[in-house]
Structure 1
């Protein structure tokens, strides 16, 4: 491949979770991307093949990196089949490779995304059969080539999925407790909290340790994609540049800082959660950077010798009926601990129980709307002043 081919820029889309779009756009900018548009749960940008590889390796809040390659109108079934058939599929796929199509359909005359995916698949398979007599197979679980079809009204965008398995699945998580935070969201919370990878960071309700693990990855400049299990999907593309990919990975490995950059500590009431956290931290090869202990949140304290930094936590939301009183008590305890033991810190509580959060008894200076799966949540910021300074006026949500 000639050098100029390698350096030409093209359009890409990175998908993320609601509320993390600006954070992801900044991550992409830091990698050298030119941001074209920040949308809902997606950021459109331009960059080179090297940037495509780096985005998969480095973006902490991305779910997938997509490379759009076709755009057309399809008011009905005939038009969809015809337009898909017009593309030269041998540029993207060979007959001995497996493929899968994910379709997302909004406000369209087509009711079912599954039907749209099926029709698209038929058009691709028929083209191969007519031209070569052989056809690629569909494999929905682990395809070589993943295609993404996005249809709004009757406008269709077809993209190659560069990531394969969702990027939030880092591969270090051995197992989790009942309601884990996904890794991309955990990283997003830390970046929204403006954590710089240097300040003290305490999680007094750390569960299986996802927030602390993501914090250590940020502090030690470790690319989360280095934990990715198996291949990235772009490694199966016809234009895959192995030498470039090896050099991008080598740069990522050498970016890692060995010396601990920040004081990171977590605790939880349940020994089994701390055991899970320990296993996850070890699987990520981060045991030198994170201190873990069994402790009730009411006994949590700021480390004596460290300068104040951040307290970040994702307490239970209390999904079950009858949890209300227990949850209100828990959130009151959290508030008491913050007031008495963490003066001078900024505290961030991520919760889906906004009723119980009122019992924290502190005024939130920021309220950032987010989702944890389907649950409507807020990341609440509390400034814990030394002494009796009045709390800052809360921003309007």
Structure 2
């Protein structure tokens, strides 16, 4: 059995430190956060566990080689020198993704072509035939990155992006990415220790991700499969042991997770996705216009949501965000409120001062994750009460 090896988990901008924390909590070694990625070390079983459990990872890549590279011809030579038959056979299909730039390597399409040539030429010279390229559903997906004169060759252990959790079959317009939703929840400090509300729940992504965090459910438990299951060295018994171990770490949740949406179609889709995730015991969704609502519980409430914006908003932006602020101020005392928006000018119309603003990207849209602390009573009274407690 192979010992520890280098891996990288890819993520969104702004989630690097959260992903690093997730990896450390899972037991990864030598964890180092970078830009949109975190490097770490672990064994085969840990690779299986990382794919099953990481909430903020988009991919888990197994690093095969790294070497200095001068130009595209040098890249071809060094790719050719790798014994590719150790990783896959002529009967498998493969695909190449190439990213990065370096001196002598500035055309990503040409570089990817040279890498492909190096692989198939080596197979043809060693075995008299070559494997086929399949860009849509390859058996093996190799990810090559060049940076500052160094080349990193990795094998994608995940397959399709890990945001494809497997529970979301029904979606609304522009649903929030599942990894983005999980990262926002973790940034907000959600830990399952209070009641939770998404007052504009759309297709229910925040609700499902919040329940999985609260119950410590492995996030990709409903997924159809992973790329590593196609590898010749896939250890099905080990995978089952890892899966069983992840299940044993789940926990009960003793609060409420509630979703509102004013559109009947959204409520229906949310409920479908909650049922697909087997979380209907924990989540209640109902038709409700947030602007006509009040806090649904007596105690502390954790709120996270993704209000409509941009092309999805067919009403006046200023009025919408002003009403949002008014509803929070008058109807939701004692609540921790977080929402993401890419409509940056709209933030000032909320009429509340955010205690935190975190830069994120929703797709290609630069966004802000905002935190508002809605105190029960005035903020001044809250501070005075804290000051007189000792």
Normalised by the length of structure 1, the TM-score is: 0.92
The alpha-carbon deviation at position 391 of structure 1 amounts to: 10
Contact 2:375 2:382 in 1 (8 A): no
- Does residue 86 of structure 1 match 2:78? no
Q: Distance in 2 between matches of 1:242 and 1:267?
A: 41
Give a deviation string over 1:200-240, Cα, whole Å, max 9, x none. 111111111110110111112211121112x3112223332
Q: 1:70 aligns with which of 52, 65, 68?
A: 65
| Partner-residue secondary structure (3-state), 2:61 | strand
Aligned pairs, how many? 383
Query: What is the aligned partner in structure 2 of residue 310 from structure 1?
Result: 302
Contact 2:306 2:340 in 1 (8 A): yes
Residues 99/391 of structure 1: CA separation in 2 closer, same or farther (3 Å cut): farther
Contact 2:260 2:267 in 1 (8 A): yes
Give a deviation string over 1:129-186, Cα, whole Å, max 9, x none. 1111122111111111110000124321100111111101111111311111100010
| Partner-residue secondary structure (3-state), 1:51 | helix
Q: Distance in 2 between matches of 1:358 and 1:262?
A: 33
Q: 1:163 aligns with which of 153, 158, 161?
A: 158
Contact 2:24 2:31 in 1 (8 A): no
Q: Where do residues 185-200 of structure 1 align in structure 2 (5 Å cutoff)? A: 185-200=180-195
Contact 1:363 1:391 in 2 (8 A): no
Query: What is the aligned partner in structure 2 of residue 336 from structure 1?
Result: 326
The alpha-carbon deviation at position 28 of structure 1 amounts to: 0.4
Contact 2:20 2:31 in 1 (8 A): no
Q: Distance in 2 between matches of 1:313 and 1:281?
A: 16
Q: 1:22 aligns with which of 17, 21, 39?
A: 17
Query: What is the aligned partner in structure 1 of residue 250 from structure 2?
Result: 256
Query: What is the aligned partner in structure 2 of residue 272 from structure 1?
Result: 265
Query: What is the aligned partner in structure 1 of residue 218 from structure 2?
Result: 223
- Does residue 237 of structure 1 match 2:227? no
Residues 199/35 of structure 1: CA separation in 2 closer, same or farther (3 Å cut): farther
| Partner-residue secondary structure (3-state), 2:24 | helix
The alpha-carbon deviation at position 19 of structure 1 amounts to: 0.4
For structure 1, the residue ranges without an aligned partner over 5 or more in a row are none
Q: Distance in 1 between matches of 2:254 and 2:8?
A: 32
Contact 2:72 2:104 in 1 (8 A): no
Contact 1:328 1:357 in 2 (8 A): no
